[in-house]
Amino acid sequence: MDDGLAELTCGQMLYGPSYAFPNDTTPIATPAGFSPGVIPSLQVSPTFHSSLDTGSGPPDIRFVAADNVFFFAHVSLLLSRSENSFNALIPHDAFQRANLFAIAVPELSNVFTIVLHTIYGWSCTGLHPSTDDLSAALTALEVYGVPASTCLAPNSPLHALVLAHAALRPLEVFALAAEHGVEPLAVAVSSKLVGRTVPSIPEPLLERIGARYLLRLARLQLSLMDRLRELVLNPPQPHLPAATCGFSEQRTLIGTWALASARLSWHAKPDLSASTIQAVFNDVEGDLRCTLCKDAWRSRVRQILYQWTLAKRTI
């Protein structure tokens, strides 16, 4: 190992021979203690090791993560994906260097491995990254000249993985999409936030989401409330006059409907469930005595439930 590595700072290059790192890999999750004068224990990424073969020759660049994990990669592939020569860390004459060189990066290995997986177009699902690690990796990718909108394009491996995280942490994923301006992801995740009021969102996440996406979320919730109100305030159609229930008797139907609407207003919210709507109307329906009125009532409730399920729930 090269003793000089202890002095390596972020962005600094270290030139030297192609060290023979073992192919059998060391777990990368353990950060090495880094004390002055102490040579750090070096580990190698299980995926980006010295024998990495992508069909384009052996690796010709090394990175050292903040926790002293080495990553081997290919200059040509990195430059083809990056819009800024990997934050100007890769010199323009990198191809001509005879010796493999190393670049220190500030990210921890569990984040930097996501960066490289994404650049190589490989899925990170097997890494089981946390949402915070994904967020940090996307920030790093932006720094290295790989736009998040490209990394998170629909049908990309990372898009599917981040979207899976939205099931448990929709706010964090929405913030991630908003701060990087990844519109398709923000739209997809917004459907999970229709019931989340703005005052209930923690301030750090509010800042990350930003005014533009918060406004769109608030408008979505308002439009759903308007749609619910519109549906519920529209009563059943009266039936033709019958022997026991003429037009005057059917005022009971309208009055009972108004009662149900008032009860429902206590439950009204953008993410009101169809089952709650059904339960409120079923509860009041018992006040009706006319079979034809009940039929009209149930028909109208079915229409409401159907149209409520069709309401637009994305920003």
Regarding 292 and contact with Zn ion (CB under 5 A), the answer is yes
Query: Could you say which DSSP state residue 5 is in?
Result: G
Answer whether 48's CB lies under 8 Å from 116's CB: yes
Q: How far is the CB of 253 from Zn ion (least distance, A)?
A: 6
Residues 213-272 within binding reach of Zn ion (CB under 5 A): 245
Q: How far is the CB of 300 from Zn ion (least distance, A)?
A: 13
Half-sphere exposure for 103 (CA within 13 Å, toward CB): 19
Minimum CB separation of residue 288 from Zn ion in Å reads 8
Whether 223 and 217 have beta carbons less than 8 Å apart is answered as no
Site for Zn ion in 261-290 (CB under 5 A): 290
CB of 290: closest distance to Zn ion in angstroms? 3
| Distant-in-sequence, close-in-space partners of 203: CB < 8 Å, separation ≥ 6 | none
Q: Which of 293, 301, 304, 315 binds Zn ion (CB under 5 A)?
A: 293
Q: Select 56 or 291, whichever has its Cβ closest to Zn ion.
A: 291
Contact status, residue 245 vs residue 291, Cβ threshold 8 Å: no
Between 187 and 292, whose beta carbon lies closer to Zn ion?
292
Q: What is the total count of residues that contact Zn ion (CB under 5 A)?
A: 4
Count the Cβ atoms, other than its own, within 10 Å of residue 10: 12
Binding status of residue 127 toward Zn ion by CB under 5 A: no
In the bound state with Zn ion, the residue whose beta carbon lies nearer, of 23 and 291, is 291
Determine the Cα–Cα distance for residues 90 and 95; give it in Å rounded to an integer. Answer: 10
Angle (CA) 130-132-136 rounded to 5° is 120
206 binds Zn ion (CB under 5 A): no
Q: How many CA atoms lie within 13 A of 169 on its CB side?
A: 14
Nearest to Zn ion of 72, 281 (CB atom):
281
CB of 232 to Zn ion, least distance (A): 21
Chain residues in the site for Zn ion (CB under 5 A): 245, 290, 292-293
